[in-house]
Amino acid sequence: MPDKGAPMLRKRQQIEKVGKNMFVWVACAAVILGICAVLALSLSERISYKQKVISAKSETVGRLESNIKAAKSLKQEVRVINTNQALLSTPRIDGAEPVSVILDALPSTANSSALGASLQQKLLNVEGVTIESLTVDPIAGVEDVSEESSDGMTTTDGEITFKFSVSVASGQASVLQDMLRQIERSIRTINLTKVTVEETGSKITLSAEGRAYYQPAVKVELSEKTVRK
């Protein structure tokens, strides 16, 4: 008598096999889909990063082209300045271009000690003039660690404050005038903000406060920039 359960068993096994195969295919499809999604996301991030790099490079190229144009214009302006008669007639180091006078008038460093030496040895050094006192305040935060100058006066960016007192014999006021003219003719930019003259006994005393100026140099250099993802 034939066994009727055998065909049913084979059908069930086939159904289970098909189900397993279907599960494997679905699982493989899910894995492939996940890999594709990860690759697509990674590719998108790379494309976005490359665009940032390209944008940064384009910005750098544009800046360099602008600097090249500005340099040509600056050279032309310097040539014109070098023909200025006032600069040509101003004393300067042998071989130096006339434009160097402007650079000497506005130093790039806050060297208050050099200013003090210039005042003492040159500008106030006039025959018949006696230097009673001379004070040049260091630049706060640049030449010292304090935030206030020695006499209580605060300094501003690009300024050096100073004060001095000189005297001449009574009746020699013209010597003081010569000294002030010498300061006025100085190539260094100096502004006397307060001048007091008084005569006591056998001498005339001139006391003054003023400011000298400097302009910090601008550094032009190539640098590297990291473009972050």
The amino acid occupying position 16 is E
Mean pLDDT of 154-179: 86
Strand order in the sheet with 130-136: 130-136, 159-169, 203-213, 190-200
- Choose between 185 and 219: higher pLDDT: 185
Query: 95: which 2 tokens?
Result: 């071989």
pLDDT for position 208: 96
pLDDT of residue 145: 44
- Amino acid in position 77: E
CB 99 within 8 A of CB 87: yes
What is the Rg, in whole angstroms, of the alpha carbon atoms belonging to the chain?
41
Max alpha carbon distance in the chain (Å)? 155
Region 90-111: what's the mean pLDDT? 79
Domain boundaries, the chain: 10-81, 100-213
CATH superfamily of 100-213: Ribosomal protein S6/Translation elongation factor EF1B (3.30.70.60)
Read off the pLDDT of residues 119-150 as tens digits, 9 standing for 90 and up.
999 899 999 999 999 999 987 666 764 444 44
153 pLDDT above the threshold of 80: no
